[in-house]
């Protein structure tokens, strides 16, 4: 496998799995406890302060949906990722807002319409937050080893856990169903 293919694989799958954004065009029907596509995590009538965990999670979700404008406002320069990457890496090479945005952007190249919905409301306890999500997107091609035709719609799930320090996300743990995604891409 070439270095380019290894790097693309390292960046592609975990970012796709890590994505959390709420979408107005999501195909998944939210459960009664899930946040709907038309509403953010915070209530419109009770807006949370900009540095509250709920407001930060709103921005986090928009970030994974491709709105990078608030990345530096919610991601610490010390931001680190903990994830089992397909190339055997542990995610530690993805650092800060720029590294995270590059990871997300590369994923979106293979799944340009990637959209996410929350399966349940986020859990927030002290300086940690966790969200469970479902992602749906159309494969555009270019995934190493994938035999699925471009245009194949994929759906997969995962859970993100984030640590907050000084009003920014500083650490990120990803647990995603890589097998579900790879099976749909016929990459096994």
- Structure token digits, residue 103: 């990871």
Which is more confident, 18 or 40?
A: 40
Which is more confident, 2 or 121?
A: 121
Contact present, 18 and 160 (Cβ < 8 Å): yes
Per-residue pLDDT, 118: 87
Looking at the predicted structure, is the pLDDT value of residue 3 above 90?
A: no
Identify the band that residue 41 occupies on the pLDDT scale cut at 50, 70 and 90: low
187: left (phi over 0), alpha (psi -120 to 50) or beta: alpha
Q: Name the nearest CA neighbour of 22 among 140, 114, 93.
A: 114
Cross-strand pairs, 168: 165
DSSP string, 138-174: E--S--TT--SPTT-EEEEEEEEEEEEETTEEEEEEE
**pTM, 2 dp:** 0.74
Q: What is the mean pLDDT of the chain?
A: 78
Percent of the chain with pLDDT over 70: 73
CA 58/CA 48 separation, integer angstroms:
10
Domains along the chain? 3-184 (3.10.450.50)
Give residues with Cβ within 8 angstroms of 4, minimum separation 6: none
Count Cβ neighbours within 10 Å for each residue of 30-66 and write b for 16 or more, e otherwise: beeebbebeebbbeeeeebeeeebbbbbbbbbbbbbb
Which is more confident, 18 or 64?
A: 64
């Amino acid at each position: 496998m070439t270095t380019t293919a290894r790097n693309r694989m390292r960046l592609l799958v975990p970012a796709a799995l890590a994505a959390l954004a709420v979408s107005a065009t999501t195909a998944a029907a939210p459960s009664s406890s899930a946040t709907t596509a038309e509403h953010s995590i915070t209530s419109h009538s009770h807006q949370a302060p900009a540095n509250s965990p709920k407001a930060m999670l709103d921005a986090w979700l928009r970030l994974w949906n491709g709105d990078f404008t608030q990345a530096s406002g919610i991601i610490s320069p010390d931001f680190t990722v903990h994830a089992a990457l397909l190339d055997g890496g542990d995610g530690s090479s993805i650092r800060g807002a720029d590294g995270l945005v590059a990871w997300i952007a590369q994923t979106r190249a293979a799944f340009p319409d990637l959209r996410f919905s929350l399966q349940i409301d986020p859990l927030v306890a002290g300086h940690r937050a966790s969200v469970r999500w479902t992602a749906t997107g159309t494969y555009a091609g270019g995934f190493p080893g994938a035999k699925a035709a471009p245009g194949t719609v994929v759906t997969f799930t995962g859970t993100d856990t984030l640590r907050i320090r000084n009003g920014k996300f500083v650490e990120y743990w990803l647990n995603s169903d890589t097998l579900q995604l790879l099976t749909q891409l016929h990459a096994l």
